[in-house]
Amino acid sequence: MMDRRAFLRAAGLVGAGSVLVGCSSGGPAEPGAATTPPTAPPPTTTTTGPPSPPNWESLRARISGTVLLPGDAEFDKAGLAFNPLTDTRKPAAVVRCKNKDDVQACVGVAAESKIPIAARGGGHSYAGYSVPEGGLLVDMSELKEIQVRPDGTVRIGAGARLMDVYTELAKAGRCLPGGSCPTVGIAGLTLGGGIGVLSRRFGLTCDRLDAATVVTADSQVIEASGAKGTDLFWALRGGGGGNFGIVTEFLFSTFPAPNLAVFTLRFPAGSVATALGAWQEWIASAPPELWSNFVVSGASRAPACHISGCYVGSVGDLNGLLAGLKARPTARIVQEKDYLQGMRFFAGGSQRESFVASSRMLPAPADPARVAELMTGRQGVDLLIDALGGAVADLGPSDTAFPHRKAFASAQIYGKTDASGAARATTQVAEIRDALAEFTGVTGYVNYIDPAMPDWANAYYGANLPRLQQVAKSVDPDKVFGFAQAVPRT
């Protein structure tokens, strides 16, 4: 998940987004094999009357973690996500889980009582889906252990956040491609795909996933892995967070941590069309070691823009590549970084931020003049175009659930706003999103999930939607993990 604040910070413009959040010709394979018996009875699928309300005191007595209810001192704060605009969403209970047994017990309660349930890792679900209205919020923040193993793999608890992951990997001389925002959870990022500054060289975060431990709707624990080749494992790599169960732990393959060269180029107001045209031509022919994005800052008259990027290699080689960009900036920063320093360079702050956002996926370069026109009069809204290609495109659109393998770039529309300006920002973001469809068609990135996205299921999943529906129906036929934009069962 990329972070608007990180790239504004990298450009020197300011001081410093998953629910867990994010097709084959035949039927689905077996989703996986249960390896651990549930600590709570499996949910009843047939009832003679309405379900009983949750027995929170019974749950409290059965788990190692903490059950927080309305009126408890920490409840209000514990129920918040990253975006203050979602603060109106109120759960019925928050459970801070200490282990997968606690998660199993939570799922059992939700299934039996038929109340909404969602897990929260980093809390960056753009629509706030990691806070289930009137339901059970499963707080994963204490399941955050990061264990780098001698064989170069890393086990990561689903509550770990990106900067903690990068810090522990760097200590061991390893790296994992991921997003830039330091407080984004590894879970939501991975489950939706995982676009980041190393994607063109090392692929998406989900491409490095070897196995996942999942609590399914019947409170069973499933070990889904590439070795077993299950449909569930396929779906977990890009099928979006919150759809198929609650992942408690991930196993990733990592790479030796590289040295990096980072850069930021700033351009004057009014140069969007010229600079974007040059950037698109330049990045299309760049080697996979180079990743870059183009940021347009909307303005009442003449939008401004800047380019940021990361190169796996030396500053000297990066400077040689930058010489081929047919646009001349007014300010330029080029610096050598080690892996951890590079991740920090692109990291924004950890404070909560109010925003409205959406996305499209560009199949090819967009008309630069049209983009400049779209961002004129859009003060307070940014358009972040992140280059794809390289290792992202090495896999086919159906090899994982992430369908946008052949896209030229992702485009995030991001409007920073407070509650008083939310309606205006929502309108502006929607207008840009819908106008971009002339270049993109019905597309979008599930990790930038937008509750107002037209035809959202096809936009996020494309041709992979039917297989994802089969998986969801197989592992969760009763929609225990249903929410407003869950993968449809029919």
Domain spans of the chain, in order of start: 11-18+259-462, 34-44+51-139, 146-256+467-475
How far apart are the C-alpha atoms of 129 and 84, rounded to whole Å?
13
Q: How far apart are CA 339 and CA 159, in angstroms?
A: 22
22 pLDDT band, cuts 50/70/90, is: very low
- The contacts of residue 411 (CB under 8 Å, 6+ apart) are 359, 360, 361, 362, 366, 383, 384, 385, 386, 436, 440
Burial class for 180, CB neighbours closer than 10 Å (0-12, 13-18, 19+): buried
Class of the CATH-defined domain 34-44+51-139: alpha beta
pLDDT of residue 6: 47
The pLDDT of residue 45 is 43
Higher-confidence residue of 323 and 3: namely: 323
* 181-221 pLDDT, tens digit each: 999 999 999 999 999 999 999 999 999 999 999 999 999 99
The pLDDT of residue 50 is 83
pLDDT 10s digits, 264-287? 999 999 999 999 999 999 999 999
Label residue 4 left, alpha or beta by phi (over 0 means left) and psi (-120 to 50 means alpha): alpha
Q: How far is CA 345 from CA 231, 239, 352, 362, in A?
A: 37, 29, 19, 26
Q: Which of 33-42, 57-66, 163-172, 197-206 has the lowest mean pLDDT?
A: 33-42
- For 341-353, what is the mean pLDDT? 93
The DSSP symbol for 43 reads P
Over residues 393-415, the pLDDT tens digits come to: 999 999 999 999 999 999 999 99
Residue type, 471: V
Collapsing DSSP to helix, strand or coil, 152 comes out as coil
Q: Coil, strand, or helix at residue 26?
A: coil
Pairing of strands 260-267, 331-337: antiparallel
Q: Supply the mean pLDDT for the chain.
A: 91
Angle in degrees, CA 286, 447, 185, rounded to 5: 100
Classified by CATH at the fold level, domain 11-18+259-462 comes out as Vanillyl-alcohol Oxidase; Chain A, domain 3 (3.40.462)
pLDDT at 328 exceeding the cut of 80: yes
Specify whether the CB–CB gap between 484 and 130 falls below 8 A. Answer: no
Judge whether 471 and 222 are in contact, CB under 8 Å: no
What is residue 1's predicted lDDT score, i.e. its pLDDT? 53
Nearest to 186 by CA among 124, 101, 231: 124
Nearest to residue 20, comparing CAs of 229, 219, 215?
215
Residues 210, 207: Cα–Cα separation, whole Å: 8
List 214's β-bridge partners, or say none: 222, 247
pLDDT value at 36 more than 90: no
The per-residue pLDDT for 196 is 97
pLDDT of residue 15: 31
d(CA 289, CA 260): 10
Backbone angles phi, psi at 268, to 5 degrees: -75, 160
- Residue appearing with tokens 């931020």: 353
pLDDT for the residue numbered 34: 43
Mean pLDDT of 300-314: 97
Tokens of 50: 């309405």
What are the tokens at 376?
Answer: 């004129």
Tell me how far apart the alpha carbons of residues 378 and 328 are, in angstroms, rounded to a whole number: 25
pLDDT of amino acid 490: 73
Q: Give phi and psi for 435, each to the nearest 5.
A: -70, -35
pLDDT per residue as tens digits for the range 415-474: 999 999 999 999 999 999 999 999 999 999 999 999 999 999 999 999 999 999 999 999
Give, in order, the Cα–Cα distances in Å from 28 to each of 210, 403, 466, 474.
Answer: 20, 18, 10, 8
Task: Give every CB contact of residue 443 below 8 A, 6+ residues apart in sequence.
Answer: 360, 361, 363, 404, 407, 459, 462
Q: Do domains 34-44+51-139 and 146-256+467-475 have the same CATH topology?
A: yes
Q: What is the pLDDT of residue 19?
A: 40
pLDDT at position 204 is 98
CB 171 within 8 A of CB 125: no
**Kind of pairing, strands 93-96 and 136-139?**
parallel
Which residue's entry shows tokens 């889980």? Answer: 97
**pLDDT for residue 48:** 53
Residue 489 has a pLDDT of 86
pLDDT of 37 > 80? The answer is no
Distance CA 137, CA 56 (A): 13
Q: What is the pLDDT of residues 100-147, one digit of tens each?
A: 999 999 999 999 999 999 999 999 999 999 999 999 999 999 999 999
Helix (H) / strand (E) element for 297: namely strand 290-297
Provide the percentage of residues in the chain whose pLDDT is more than 90: 87
* The model's pTM: 0.90
CATH of domain 146-256+467-475: 3.30.465.10
pLDDT band at 349 (very low <50, low <70, confident <90, very high): confident
